[in-house]
């Protein structure tokens, strides 16, 4: 009985002591020492809290940067595609402008020249430039025949380009006057001297077989004469088509004739459209 009473007394004492301690701690929580302890704890734990918060922000920032990179990459691809499209459009417009300018010049020739003309487009060239011949997109079905003259536009003026040397049903071959196999009876429009224009290697021309007594001067204009020289050189070209400009003149070794070096009026390397002379009247 006594021991049981002692145990109850000790339990009561422990409960009372715990209650008093709890009250004391509650009362002391607002005291200066306890507040200093709390402040010191917060300061000690601040680096840890900041590091944890910074790590969280870093992860968020990393995912944001990755998203921004993807967005910029997508925009860059779109802009590059738009640029390619614009460049293609500019190229198309540039080609259309050049073609329209050439067509306007050819249209002007069809009105100014007293000739029946067929507009054609060059569709084939010899890349080696050893043979000054080109293919055109019209043939016998369009009335094109071997021997027909071909003209082009030299800054709006009618220039002799060459002659048709072969013809199929829908295509034909044109030999330019600068070809070494070509020859044209021509006239110096200033002095009226007659001679023979011959093609040279490299796409140049000479005005040959001109009598030494005739005056031929650099700067003179050479044009088709529209006539024959003797029985060997007959003309199949209309009269007055521009051929080129005299650059220099030299006497031949026989001292009876002279030769003039002529710059072609028509740039046969760049021309893209021509006119086949289907019919003309010889003056």
Q: What's the pLDDT score for residue 281?
A: 72
Query: Is the C-alpha dihedral spanning 215, 221, 226, 229 positive or negative?
Result: positive
Q: Residue 156 half-sphere exposure, CB side, CA atoms within 13 Å? A: 1
**What's the whole-model pTM score?**
0.64
Q: What's the pLDDT score for residue 209?
A: 94
Four-point Cα dihedral 69, 74, 80, 81, nearest 10: 170
Considering the chain, what percentage of its residues have pLDDT values greater than 90?
45
**Fold observed for domain 113-280:** Thrombin, subunit H (2.40.10)
Across 95-101, average pLDDT? 56
Q: Of the candidates 190, 175, 185, 208, which has an alpha carbon nearest to the alpha carbon of residue 274?
A: 175
**Burial of residue 130, with CB atoms counted within 10 A of its CB: 0-12 exposed, 13-18 middle, 19 or more buried:** exposed
- In angstroms, the CA 90 to CA 101 distance is 16
- In angstroms, the CA 222 to CA 244 distance is 5
User: 137 Cβ partners below 8 Å, 6+ apart?
Assistant: 120, 121, 122, 123, 170, 171
Domain ranges of the chain: 113-280
**Which uninterrupted H or E stretch holds 41?**
helix 32-112
For tokens 């007659």, the residue is 194
Across 226-255, average pLDDT? 84
User: Which of the four pLDDT bands, split at 50, 70 and 90, describes residue 127?
Assistant: confident
**Burial of residue 236, with CB atoms counted within 10 A of its CB: 0-12 exposed, 13-18 middle, 19 or more buried:** middle
User: 236 Cβ partners below 8 Å, 6+ apart?
Assistant: 147, 149, 163
Q: What's the pLDDT score for residue 280?
A: 81
For the ranges 10-19, 29-38, 214-223, the maximum mean pLDDT occurs at: 214-223
pLDDT tens digits for 132-168? 999 999 999 999 999 999 999 888 888 999 999 999 9
**Residue 129 predicted with pLDDT over 80:** no
Q: What's the pLDDT score for residue 255?
A: 86
Q: Between the CA of residue 107 and those of 7, 100, 206, 274, what are the distances in Å?
A: 130, 10, 30, 11
Any bridge partners for residue 72, and if so which? none
């Amino acid at each position: 009985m006594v021991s049981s009473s002692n145990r109850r007394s000790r339990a009561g004492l422990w409960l009372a002591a715990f209650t008093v301690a709890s009250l004391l701690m509650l009362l002391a929580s607002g005291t200066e020492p306890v507040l200093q302890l709390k402040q010191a704890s917060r300061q000690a734990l601040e680096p840890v809290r900041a590091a944890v918060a910074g790590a969280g922000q870093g992860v968020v920032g990393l995912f944001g940067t990755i998203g921004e990179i993807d967005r910029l990459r997508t925009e860059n691809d779109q802009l590059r595609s738009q640029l390619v499209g614009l460049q293609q459009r500019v190229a198309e417009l540039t080609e259309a402008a050049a073609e329209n300018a050439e067509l306007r010049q050819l249209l002007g020739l069809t009105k100014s020249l007293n000739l029946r003309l067929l507009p054609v487009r060059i569709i084939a060239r010899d890349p080696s430039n050893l043979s000054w011949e080109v293919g055109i997109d019209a043939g016998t079905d369009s009335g094109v025949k071997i021997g027909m003259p071909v003209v082009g536009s030299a800054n709006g003026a009618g220039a002799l380009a060459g002659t048709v040397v072969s013809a199929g049903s829908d295509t034909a071959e044109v030999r330019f006057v600068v070809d070494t196999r070509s020859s044209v009876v021509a006239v110096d429009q200033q002095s009226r001297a007659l001679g023979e224009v011959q093609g040279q290697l490299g796409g140049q021309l000479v005005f040959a077989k001109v009598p030494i007594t005739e005056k031929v001067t650099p700067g003179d204009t050479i044009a088709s004469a529209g006539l024959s020289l003797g029985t060997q050189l007959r003309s199949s070209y209309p009269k007055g088509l521009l051929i080129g400009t005299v650059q220099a003149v030299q006497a031949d070794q026989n001292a009876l004739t002279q030769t003039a070096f002529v710059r072609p009026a028509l740039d046969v390397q760049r021309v893209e459209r021509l006119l086949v002379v289907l019919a003309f009247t010889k003056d």
